[in-house]
Amino acid sequence: MSKTIAGFSKFSKEQKIEWIANEYFSAPEEAISLLKNYWNTNTSLQKLHDEFIENTITNFYLPLGIAPNFVINGREYTIPMAVEESSVVAAAAKAAKFWAKRGGFKATVINTEKIGQVHFIFNGDFGKLSSFFNKIKALFFEGTQDLTKNMQARGGGILDIELRDKTADLANYYQLHATFETKDSMGANFINSCLERFSKILKEATLNEDSFTEDEKHIEVIMSILSNYVPGCIVRAEVSCPVEELHEDASVSAAAFADKFLTAVKIAEIEPFRAVTHNKGIMNGIDAVVVATGNDFRAVEAGVHAYASKSGQYSSLSHAKVENGIFTFWMEIPLALGTVGGLTTLHPLVKFCLEMLGKPSAPELMQIVAVAGLAQNFAALRSLTTTGIQQGHMKMHLMNILNQLGANDPEKKQAIKHFEKNTVSHSAVADYITDLRKNDPSKIEEDFLQ
């Protein structure tokens, strides 16, 4: 039986929920109850969340954690992280504490340029098109004054517009390639509005160009849209210290650790299969802060991974070296972020997170986010090259396994104690809980306390 439905968007929230529950669930009332359990009891706050997107039925929560002890350019930060994966926050906090004793992180914004493009088809001579573009280029700036006035007052606006010939890749394909400065705004809506105006100006000017044939006058604009690849919006984050101060594990010498760490980074630089997982670890830290501060993690992910492929092969975003006895670990990544507009002014927890960070500007937030990614990467590589990634990760994952098994509080306490000295795996935890339950459940807590 078809579940296609007309006019769903016009249903009330309750009607949407009832339809879904009745169509897809064997116990509709249980499904409805589950959804309503996640509604905010503050009705005005719930209404705000409902209006963020379309067809909302409930809220889908992510835990919001904090990683303290970050020192960035001499300033102390406690960084908010919205993420569901075990060990991410703990790893970031551990790396932050490690480097706080060694001078902290240094971060520098190299550039903040954003990009947008008008993609169009022109059936004619490129020489004529180029001359025409140079003649009307000023119109693009003049014709968007109403859109750019406020941004210009803040020191931003349209930086430049180029005509690019892409016919070697696709017949008759050209671009208007524009660069923008959007200050503390991520700028997506601003850029897209400017680009659509460019498109209109281009088409109107073409129709009135006497040097064009009738065929050339009918430019076909395919689309006008910003790019989430921002290789001109770059931030660098780094840490450094003498090699002898590098490691705290007495079982491994600092020099041996540094050598193994550098080799691990080199492997990620040359081996794409490793690089993808290596960079995913970086994004564990970056995405968590991007989400917590109301920015678009999907745009950031797309841009960062494109940047990781800029050489023609996907490679590590981070790099390491030892020179004159000094260990240095760094990365440069593209980050288009905003601290005004969008959810940054709407979502109460986003505002909370930004205030906790000291109400940073967009360039300052770029530095904080990049540092979180580098810290995460350092923590992961330190675990991988010493104890192995699973030891720490599975310890953090233990509570998730216990919850999956329906463990009660006394069982959790005993399991945590037991697995302080034993390897954590799903099967090991399940076997342990099964053995506990063979005893009298009423004695579990009593036995633990003795």
The residues assigned a catalytic role are: 85, 280, 296, 393
CB atoms within 10 A of CB 236: 17
**Cα–Cα distance for residue pair 429/432, rounded to 1 Å:** 5
Beta strands per DSSP E along 19-103: 64-72, 75-82
Tokens of 81: 């992280």
Q: In sequence order, what are the beta bridge partners of 240?
A: 328
**Cα–Cα distance for residue pair 261/378, rounded to 1 Å:** 9
According to DSSP, residue 344 is labeled G
**Cα–Cα distance for residue pair 356/105, rounded to 1 Å:** 19
**Cα–Cα distance for residue pair 334/308, rounded to 1 Å:** 10
Beta strands per DSSP E along 337-437: none
**Cα–Cα distance for residue pair 82/160, rounded to 1 Å:** 36
13, 304 contact by CB (below 8 A)? no
Beta pairing class for 173-181 and 234-242: unpaired
Tokens of 142: 């003049």
**Cα–Cα distance for residue pair 118/205, rounded to 1 Å:** 15
Q: In sequence order, what are the beta bridge partners of 242?
A: 326
∠ Cα 11 17 18 (to 5°): 90
Smallest CA-to-CA distance from 182 within 359, 337, 289 is with 337
By three-state DSSP, how is residue 323 classified? strand
173, 167 contact by CB (below 8 A)? yes
The burial of 93, by beta-carbon neighbours within 10 Å (0-12 exposed, 13-18 middle, 19 or more buried), is given as buried
- Letter for the amino acid at 238? E
Q: What are phi and psi of 272, to 5 degrees?
A: -60, -35
106, 237 contact by CB (below 8 A)? yes
